[in-house]
């Protein structure tokens, strides 16, 4: 294992009508509005092959998270018992990486309109990956 | 967006019979051996609720990757045309985060035996998240 720190560089950011944490759904398929993923033009060649209709995984950096949290109550429900954060999707975790499965609705150069993204406006995007279909289509 | 660099801290590492990149399958469900995820005991409380039988997503830091790569040939197949790295699962990408969907076979304190992890021995682990079932079971 290298001793260098692992530094993540933003590749873009989210443009969304979701401004306030209180308005955000817990998961993207629970009522998130359509949002734009805006990629830094320096990474344009890395987008080749991402087209409307594709389902992709978007990784974000949840920069408002509490990285010291190790346990939480799922879905902020005080009636539920504490779970370790690795057994939840809480944004509050040692490495505040958000994972969102979204569908690309439209592509406009380095901007992509997506469905089911619950990240707040301005959230940094750090990676995009295709979901994996059956082995033979990879 | 904050101006601070986004620094990822390892939470543990992979112990696997996969030592050599040439032996690793392209994806975990294409012949990966069972492997251990060894979590730093400092994060023990964060594991509470992760039990044998659970399907989880493991994020790793692919420290041997080429972060300057923006395009690649899928599955290293020279007959295929170049794709942007964000349209592939190539480890060579601006932020070399690996995403692995695995099944927990056994838990021994801060060690978890998992199926379908194609990461090499020694690979740093940076996050664990549950996969999402139907809304009502979250």
Total of domains in chain A: 1
pLDDT in tens, B9-48: 999 999 999 998 777 777 777 778 999 999 999 999 999 9
- Domain contains B138: no
Report if residue A7 sits inside a domain.
no
Residue-wise DSSP of B10-30: --EEEE-S--SGGGS-SSTTT
- The ipTM (two decimal places) reads 0.91
In A49-88, the residues whose Cβ lies within 8 Å of chain B are: 49-50, 54, 56-57, 59, 61, 63, 70-71, 74-75, 82-88
pLDDT grade for B2, boundaries at 50, 70 and 90 = low
Q: What is the CATH number of the domain that holds B69?
A: 2.40.30.70
- Residue B5, in any domain of the structure: no
Alpha-carbon span A74 to A84, nearest angstrom: 9
A2 within domain boundaries: no
**Residue B68 within a domain:** yes
Contact A9 B94 (CB under 8 A): yes
d(CA A40, CA A37): 10
Antiparallel, parallel or unpaired: β B111-115 and B124-130: unpaired
Residue A122 lies in a domain: yes
Any domain includes A135:
no
Whether A6 is covered by a domain: the verdict is no
Residue pointed to by tokens 């944004």: A91
Domain span at residue A83 reads 13-130
Q: Residues of chain B with pLDDT > 70: what percent?
A: 93
């Amino acid at each position: 294992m290298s001793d260098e720190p692992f530094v993540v560089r933003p590749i873009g950011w989210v443009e969304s009508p979701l401004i306030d944490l209180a308005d955000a759904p817990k998961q993207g398929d629970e009522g998130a509005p359509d949002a734009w993923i805006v990629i830094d033009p320096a990474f344009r060649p890395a987008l080749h092959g991402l087209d409307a209709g594709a389902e992709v995984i978007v990784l974000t950096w949840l920069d408002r998270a509490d990285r010291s949290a190790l346990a939480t109550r799922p879905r902020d429900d005080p009636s539920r018992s504490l779970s370790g954060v690795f057994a939840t999707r809480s944004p509050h975790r040692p490495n505040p990486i958000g994972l969102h499965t979204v569908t690309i609705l439209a592509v406009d150069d380095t901007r992509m309109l997506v469905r089911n993204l619950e990240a707040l406006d301005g959230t940094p995007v750090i990676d995009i990956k295709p979901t994996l279909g059956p082995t033979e289509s990879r």
